[in-house]
Amino acid sequence: MTTRSLKAKYDNLRITLNKMGRVVIAFSGGVDSSLLLKIAKDVLGADVLAVTAESATTPKRELEDSAKIAAHLDAEHLVVQSGEMELPEFVANPPEKCYICKKSRFGDILNIAQDRGFEFVLDGENIDDTGDFRPGSKAARELGVRSPLREAGLSKKEIRVLSRKLDLPTWNKPSYACLASRIPYGSPITEKKLRQVDLGEEFVRDLIVANQVRVRHYGDMAKIEVDSAAMPKLIRRKVRDKLIHFFKLDLGFKFITLDLYGYETGSLNRAIEVPIRPK
């Protein structure tokens, strides 16, 4: 990555957004959608609406961050209730559950865009997102949702670099994801499980100040993933005792394990892919 190539991608992104006119951005408050909102605001001014979906699958911290960042960027921000938990085909938790969810969520956002006279709905997908199993991306494409960051050829690393250059507080923010992604395929998604995962991740994050945390929900067992640098912190006696107490007595898990692979995006996809070699 060179400064010249990154500037070219940034310029192309601005040109693309300028041609769109009025846009609605599916806004999570994460690194990608925050950069997209920032640049769209710079280019289009008031002709931008950020829409955040709220449901039991949304991490509490992510919802709070979305409101703070939208206010920081002086962007109009709308929080809407998302209804995927009312869809039996979603809560059954098949491998394509993200397709089902995104089809519903983006359908609602498209209705908002149409009612308010916005021309395009955008998401924060980047070029790195094309390398994983992402049925939600398929739903977005089918509905005509655009991904300007991906269209500009921007990678996650480049998005962080640009975010830092533009003084966005999200430039080094850890990656978040829908809480339903913590529950293995085929295991029904319930609000109780989602709440256990959300509370568990917040506890681990605050306890050891880990950069990345995932709590995978296997019924009576919680499997914790953290970045490799945080693993030694997690197994210290005092930290371990606090973690066991919280996960057993407060959250109700009978078994607590640490994944030696460490944090990995989409680790549950191992169950539907060719096995990978350990790192």
Q: Is residue 112 domain-shared with residue 197, that is, in the same domain?
A: no
Other Cβ atoms closer than 10 A to 102? 27
**What is the pLDDT at residue 278?**
37
**What is the pLDDT at residue 139?**
93
CATH of the domain at 265: 3.30.300.10
**What is the pLDDT at residue 131?**
63
Q: Is residue 154 domain-shared with residue 61, that is, in the same domain?
A: yes
**What is the pLDDT at residue 271?**
61
**What is the pLDDT at residue 175?**
85
Contact between 37 and 45 (Cβ < 8 Å): no
The domain containing residue 15 runs over which residues? Answer: 3-165
Intervals of the chain under pLDDT 70: 1-2, 131-133, 266-279
Domain contains 172: no
- Kind and range of the H or E element at 109? helix 97-116
Domain contains 279: no
* 49-78 pLDDT, tens digit each: 999 999 999 999 999 999 999 999 999 999
Q: Is residue 184 domain-shared with residue 155, that is, in the same domain?
A: no
**What is the pLDDT at residue 16?**
97
- Kind and range of the H or E element at 142? helix 135-142
* 4-48 pLDDT, tens digit each: 899 999 999 999 999 999 999 999 999 999 999 999 999 999 999
Q: Which positions ≥6 away from 102 have C-beta within 8 Å?
A: 135, 136, 137, 139, 140
The structure's pTM equals: 0.90
CATH of the domain at 18: 3.40.50.620
